[in-house]
Amino acid sequence: MDTQKKRVKRAVSGWLVLDKPYDMTSTQAVGKVRWLFSAAKAGHAGTLDPLATGILPIALGEATKAVPYVQDGRKVYRFGLRWGAATSTDDAEGEVVATSENRPDEADVAGVLAEFTGLVEQVPPAFSALKIDGERAYDLARAGEAVELAPRTVAIDSLTLLAHGTDISTFEVTCGKGTYVRALARDLARRLGTCGHVASLHRAAVGGFSDADAVRIEDLEAMDPAARDAALKPVSAAFTALPEVRLRAEQAATIRNGNPVLLTGAGAPIALEAAWASFAGEVVATGSVERGQFKPKRVFNL
């Protein structure tokens, strides 16, 4: 007879900003954090490849309702571009499929960066999670099938050369949702008359979270349960890009029942396309303001 007690799941809510280690999948990271917190529910806001490191925001409990607000936020990546070798995956995991002896100099690299900022047309890597007729592109690519993905328009706010070398140059990019750094590195190398791939990738920020907020797995493991809970950021940390509407107690109760409320008082907004409503510092709902009424779209049970 199994005498081990079943672990009790907790209704804990908040954000754990993980510094995901190298060679761990995002799913494995979520599973580990969920286990450490004994959380009933967990998810992540934006996949990081196993070979990438850095910011992986993990949502626990009610924070899972706010995942889209983080996923849609701006992202900052630092990446190393290895010159002279293209790979099947556009990163260090794939097989080399083309080589070039050409190595651009620093001035040439700096001179084309402006071409890769703003709204940019980008063909996603063949090894990506995008679907083609219901199948993941990476599954088709691994099966040896030819993968043709349509170009997409992505927003790149800035692209900076941090260090230049004959073999590897390091860049920092700030970009919007849907941008593939692997595709950016591939296209940048092609523009400079050579080939290349991402040799290293670190996500330094996503949404309102950055490296300064990040916690390592080994540090979490060393904490007692109270310290782990203290490391969580509130559910509302997801809403840095949204205006806040502060409610009174009776208004919060009405919205928690899914009903709209009229906002009163000096400075009460008349119209907001998107906002979040709070009471006593906790998120009550996300929604919109129309004709002075806050209309809830998603209610949070905190």
pLDDT tens-digit map of 201-239: 999 999 999 999 999 999 999 999 999 999 999 999 999
What's the angle, vertex CA 92, arms to CA 88 and CA 96, rounded to 5?
Answer: 40
Tell whether 19 and 101 lie within a shared domain. Answer: no
Tell whether 25 and 124 lie within a shared domain. Answer: no
Which residue, of 157, 189, 204, is where some domain finishes?
204
The beta-strand segments (E) located in the chain are 14-20, 42-44, 53-60, 75-83, 85-87, 96-99, 118-122, 131-132, 135-136, 152-163, 168-175, 196-206, 209-210, 244-246, 261-262, 272-279, 282-290, 293-299
pTM over 0.95: no
Q: Which domain holds residue 247?
A: 242-299
Q: Are 68 and 175 in contact (CB under 8 A)?
A: no
DSSP three-state, residue 236 = helix
Tell whether 282 and 221 lie within a shared domain. Answer: no
Tell whether 35 and 184 lie within a shared domain. Answer: no
Residue 2 is assigned to a structural domain of this protein: no
Q: Could you please report the per-residue DSSP string of 55-92? A: EEEEEEGGGGGGHHHHHTS-EEEEEEEEETEEETTSBT
Query: pLDDT tens digits, residue range 63-108?
Result: 999 999 999 999 999 999 999 999 998 999 889 999 999 999 999 9
Tell whether 103 and 86 lie within a shared domain. Answer: yes
Which residues have a catalytic role annotated? Answer: 49
Tell whether 92 and 187 lie within a shared domain. Answer: yes
Q: Find the CATH number of the domain harbouring 181.
A: 3.30.2350.10
Residue 3 is assigned to a structural domain of this protein: no
- On average, the pLDDT of the chain sits at 91
Residue 91 is assigned to a structural domain of this protein: yes
| DSSP 8-state class, residue 4 | P
Residue 1 is assigned to a structural domain of this protein: no
Residue 7 is assigned to a structural domain of this protein: no
Q: Find the CATH number of the domain harbouring 283.
A: 2.30.130.10
Of the chain, the percentage scoring pLDDT greater than 70 comes to: 91
pLDDT of residue 3 exceeding 50, the answer is no
Tell whether 68 and 214 lie within a shared domain. Answer: yes
Residue 135's pLDDT is what?
A: 66
**Whole-number Å distance between alpha carbons of 152 and 177:** 11
Query: pLDDT tens digits, residue range 235-244?
Result: 999 999 999 9
Residue 146's pLDDT is what?
A: 65
Tell whether 89 and 196 lie within a shared domain. Answer: yes
